[in-house]
Amino acid sequence: MSKQEFTITVYTENQIGLLNRIAIMFSRRKINIESLNTSPSEVENIHRFTIVINETEEVVRKLCRQIEKQVEVLKAYFNTNDEIVWQEMALYKVPTDIIAEKVKVERLLREFGARAVVIRKDYTVFEATGHREETERLIKALEPYQLIEFVRSARVAIIKASNGFHEKLKEFEQTEPGEDVIENEFLDKQDEVFTM
Amino acid sequence: MSNTTTIQEPATVAQPAAKTTTLSGSQAVLEAFIAEGVHTIFGYPGGAIMPIYDALYDYQEKLKHILVRHEQGGIHAAQGYARTSGDVGVVFATSGPGATNLVTGLADAQIDSTPLVCVTGQVFAHLLGTDAFQETDVINITTPVTKWNYQVTDATEIPAVMAKAFYIARTGRPGPVLIDITKNAQLQKFDYPGYTKCEHIRSYRPKPIVRKQYVEEAAKLINEAKKPFVLFGQGVILGKAEKEFKAFIEKAGLPAAWTIMGLSALPSDHPLNVGMLGMHGNYGPNVLTNECDVLIAVGMRFDDRVTGRLDKYAKQAKVIHLDIDPAEIDKNVQTTVPVWGDCKDTLPLLTSLVNKNTHTAWVQQFHDLKAKEVEAVITEELNPTTAEMTMGEVMKVLNELTGGNAVIVTDVGQHQMVACRYAEFNQTMSNVTSGGLGTMGFCLPAAIGAKFGAPDRTVVGIVGDGGIQMTIQELGTIMQSEVDVKILILNNRFLGMVRQWQQLFHDKRYSFVDIASPDYVVVAKGYGIEGQRIDSRSNLRDALQTMLSHKGAYLLEVMVGKENNVFPMVPQGCSVAEIRLK
Ligand SMILES: Cc1ncc(C[n+]2csc(CCOP(=O)(O)OP(=O)(O)O)c2C)c(N)n1
């Protein structure tokens, strides 16, 4: 099995220390986290982690079971890139005089779907949102014009097949929930990992 | 993550009390213990936990506190207690060094699935993060070695948090929980709403629903098998499913071998008990693992000390894995049929579906290989022709004198492997050892706890001359609390297990394994504990008898051969079938 990019989505309680509990599950196995985002989810008080790693499916599958085992984790899903809609946001700071003089800024913005967030005399900040390659292409384009600063956010992802967590949570709240809540569905629905 | 310290989802709904009482956080902790049926606490006081100890002063009638000599001793004692009683072990320690001294025991309990609730004191909440005196980040230090941990900074959280702690520690796959309570929360007075046990946490599913389909598939595989073979671990004991397990193997005529954590779940003399798995296990079960056609693993986790080389492990077999922890399924060995669930529930279902069978010829294969092992190893180990005593013969005489009724607590090393190989048991929860972590120093404190957990039983701690010196301070606990444990030191004047490896795999380059010992009998005397040393076989039976019949603690040091090795052995990196008899 070869390594590929997986996006892990973890629904959790909002609890101090949980970020560490989850992060050490990766570091313990010497797995590099490419990107990690924590945010609220569609459900109040339920947190959503989005974690990107490069690993084999087998490793990711086992890892998700270990993550799900943590007391305050409700569910952990993993998906390949074609199963999700995802975006990353990037900010670029360039000197205003150079950029104004040498670039057809309008064309640049149109071509990369970017927009100017701040325009000052001394510098301009552009923002672009998209896949990794897209935000990276804009770096390439801006590099000749003295890119002063660059930063990219963690990935956020929506799972195409998901119906959200509202219904699922209702089941979790019951003392005797249905089968697929109580069990890790990876085992018997290996092809169709996401079953909510 | 938001910066809130309240539990998002209260584990319990507090019942509005008719008349509210005011309690301190410390009192609330002790009330929780009483409500959870705790009788014994192992602990050690200090600055940050003083309010709890102050409250304890008034609870001495209801809660017995055993003052240990080191927090590691305290937590191992709680582990021993949990293992012989089947209840949750409880520990107190102060902040900083008190808490860090718990880490080894937490790691041990985590890997061996032992239910514990540890309460540590912490500096005042307003001092957190200021490098205050005896402040350590206990929550983050212990995160990888706890099933759950939580820091309390407000007393009103205590009832619900304690309820959650006990619920998590004892349900599902059990494990250690640590609750760190800041000093202000211990001191804080609040309207006590009463204690309600936790029965549900929405993000925690301790017990999978049993799926009939898998049980049926498993039964079908077993019914079609020509050479079915059962491996069982501590899951059988933790699930209190010994009877169900016995009924299962008896109906289908399944030979069953144990991991050292599963030892004593099935009586030693049971005709289907074919012995010990793993690196120093019996010959038959190791060799035949690679010959069986259906492997049925019950409450065990395919540790590498059991499987040897994984890519050559039971590749010919279909694997049925019964486990309560879904993360164990397929973790090391690819499963054909996973049977999630508490084996207390799954085993009877399986038993009802399997056909009666005896598998006589197949079981005979185990006996035949046993005969080989007896000839090559066991006879000489139990009835040595050498002048020096062997650990095996000590075990043989001990078995004869205890009749298999004693609790045997072991440390880590050669004596552990020998004790597990040869100790006989006729009841469950009788073998207490550090399996997954292999923690030297475990034995003496665990034996103390084991005695509190099973006060009516004889408890024998078997320990090497290395391991005893790691936690020997607990003799003080034995003295002060008058704990009736029998301490049996098997002294080979070496760190024996390491020496064995150096002999076999490092050209006999004995690098720092030659360990000196004090006069243990004199040391014991210093603690008011009777004892003796023997170095001749002719005294062995009498000495063991004296130890066992002595009223109160006793230390017996038996001098055994310096360079004896434990065999059989699956060398590291080899398959189980390559097990060496010498
Ligand atoms: C805390 C700890 N440190 C080191 C080890 C490594 N170790 C495993 S067995 C062993 C030797 C044990 O010697 P002893 O207690 O004399 O028992 P013996 O093997 O001789 O029976 C050592 C050092 C360990 N298991 N635990």
At B389 the pLDDT is: 98
Domain-located, residue A58: yes
Top-level CATH class of B21-192?
alpha beta
Q: What residue segments make up the domains of chain B, in order of their start? A: 21-192, 212-365, 389-563
Same domain for A108 and A65: no
Kindly state the percentage of chain A with pLDDT values over 70: 89
Average pLDDT estimate for A94-99? 90
In angstroms, the CA B282 to CA B203 distance is 42
The answer to whether residue B503 is catalytic is no
Q: Is residue A195 part of a domain?
A: no
What is the pLDDT averaged over residues B306-322? 97
Q: In Å, how far is B564's CA from the nearest CA of chain A? A: 37
Question: The domain that contains A110 carries what CATH number?
Answer: 3.30.70.1150
A67 and A42 both lie in a single domain: yes
In a domain, A185, yes or no: no
Nearest to B439 by CA among B406, B474, B463: B463
Q: Categorize the per-residue pLDDT at B18 as very low, low, confident or very high, splitting at 50, 70 and 90.
A: low
A22 and A71 share a domain?
Answer: yes
Q: Are B447 and B471 in contact (CB under 8 A)?
A: no
Q: Is it the case that residue A193 has pLDDT exceeding 50?
A: no
Percent residues over pLDDT 70 in chain B = 97
pLDDT beyond 80 at B19: no
**Coil, helix or strand for B428?**
coil
Are residue A80 and residue A10 in the same domain, yes or no?
yes
pLDDT at A192: 37
Catalytic one of B497, B500, B502, B557:
B497
Residues A103 and A58 in one domain: no
For residue A170, tell me if it sits in a domain.
Answer: no
Which of A25, A63, A71, A172 is best to mutate for the B interface (most B CBs within 10 A)? A71
pLDDT over 90 percentage in chain B = 95
pLDDT at B542 over 70: yes
Ligand 1: residues within 6 Å at CB? B 411-415, 438-441, 464-467, 490, 492, 494-498
Q: Read off the pLDDT of each residue in A65-91 and give the average, rounded to a whole number.
A: 96
Lowest-confidence region among A74-83, A120-129, A175-184, B160-169:
A175-184
Residue B410: phi, psi to the nearest 5? Answer: -120, 160
Return left, alpha or beta for B286; rule: phi > 0 is left, psi -120 to 50 is alpha, else beta: alpha
Examine the pLDDT at A182 and tell me if it is beyond 70. Answer: no
**Which pair of structure tokens corresponds to residue B64?**
């017995």
**H helix intervals, B203-337:** 212-224, 235-238, 242-252, 283-289, 304-307
DSSP-based three-state secondary structure for B204 = strand
Q: Mean of the pLDDT values across residues A35-61? A: 96
Domain holding A144, by residue range, is 86-152
Most confident of A140-144, B201-205, B346-350: B346-350
Q: Do B4 and A47 touch (CB under 8 A)?
A: no
CATH 3.40.50.2000 is right for the domain spanning B389-563: no
Residue A183 has pLDDT above 90, yes or no: no
Average pLDDT, chain B: 96
Asked whether residue B5 carries a pLDDT value surpassing 50, the answer given is no
Q: Which residues of B lie inside 8 Å of A (Cβ-Cβ)?
A: 1-5, 7-9, 139-140, 143-144, 147-151, 168, 199-205, 207-209, 211, 325-327, 329-331, 338, 340
Find the chain A residues whose C-beta atoms sit closer than 8 A to any C-beta of B. Answer: 12-21, 24, 28, 38, 45, 47, 62, 65-66, 68-69, 71-74, 169, 172-173, 175, 177, 179, 181-184, 187
Residue B1 and residue A14: Cβ atoms within 8 Å?
A: yes
Between CA B541 and CA B67 the distance in angstroms is 34
Nearest of B69, B93, B70, B91 to residue B80 by alpha carbon: B91
Rounded to whole angstroms, the Cα distance separating B142 from B104 reads 10
With 90 as the cut, is the pLDDT of residue A57 above it? yes
How far is ligand 1, taken at its centre, from the CA of residue B405, in Å? 27
Q: Does the pLDDT of residue A50 top 90, yes or no?
A: yes
pLDDT, position B7: 46
Q: Is the pLDDT of residue B358 over 90?
A: yes
Write down the residue that tokens 């075990």 correspond to: B395
Least CB–CB distance from B208: residue in A66, A72, A183: A183
Q: Give yes or no for a contact between B440 and B413, defined as CB atoms under 8 angstroms apart.
A: yes
Residue of A nearest to B212 (CA): A179
pLDDT digits (tens, 9 = 90+) for B45-97: 999 999 999 999 999 999 999 999 999 999 999 999 999 999 999 999 999 99
Q: Is the dihedral of CA B244, B246, B249, B254 positive or negative?
A: positive
Q: How many structural domains compose chain A?
A: 2
CA distance linking residue B92 with residue B421, whole number of Å: 35
* pLDDT at residue B300, as a whole number: 98
B198 to chain A: nearest residue by CA?
A175
Query: Which domain-ending residue is among A152, A172, A190?
Result: A152
Average pLDDT over residues B112-127: 98
**pLDDT of amino acid B32:** 98
CATH topology of domain B212-365: Rossmann fold (3.40.50)
pLDDT band at residue B250 under the 50/70/90 scheme:
very high
- Both A91 and A25 in one domain: the answer is no
Q: Is residue A107 part of a domain?
A: yes
User: What confidence tens digit (pLDDT) does each residue in B251-271 have?
Assistant: 999 999 999 999 999 999 999
Indicate if the pLDDT at residue A194 is higher than 70.
no
**CATH number of the domain bearing residue A36:** 3.30.70.260
CA distances from B457 to B69, B338, B402, B448, B453 (A): 24, 37, 10, 12, 9
The band of B380, judged by pLDDT with boundaries at 50, 70 and 90, is: very high
pLDDT surpasses 90 at B202: yes
Active site residue B133: yes
Q: Sorting pLDDT into bands at 50, 70 and 90, what band is B4?
A: very low
Structural domain includes residue A166: no
Q: Nearest residue of B to residue A188 by CA position?
A: B338
Distance of residue A41 Cα from the nearest chain B Cα, in angstroms: 12
Select from B103, B440, B444, B487 the residue to mutate for testing ligand 1; criterion: most ligand atoms less than 8 Å from CB: B440
Pair A80, A92 in one domain: no
Q: Are strands A123-130 and A73-80 parallel, antiparallel or unpaired?
A: unpaired
Shortest distance, CA B213 to any CA of chain A (angstroms) = 11
Query: Which residues does chain A have within 8 Å of residue B140's beta carbon, measured at their own beta carbons?
Result: 17, 20
- Residue A195, pLDDT > 50, answer no
Per cent of chain A over pLDDT 90 is: 70
Cα–ligand 1 centroid distance for B416 (angstroms): 10
Per CB-CB distance under 8 Å, the chain A contacts of B338 are 187
d(CA B230, CA B311): 20
Residue A178 has a pLDDT of 60
- DSSP assignment of B496-559, as one string? HHHHHHHHHHSTT---S-B-----HHHHHHHTT-EEEEE--GGGHHHHHHHHHHSSS-EEEEEE
pLDDT at residue A189 tops 50 = no
**Distance in Å, CA B514 to ligand 1 centroid:** 12
Q: What is the pLDDT of residue B15?
A: 52
Q: What is the pLDDT of residue A181?
A: 54
pLDDT over 70 (residue B207): yes
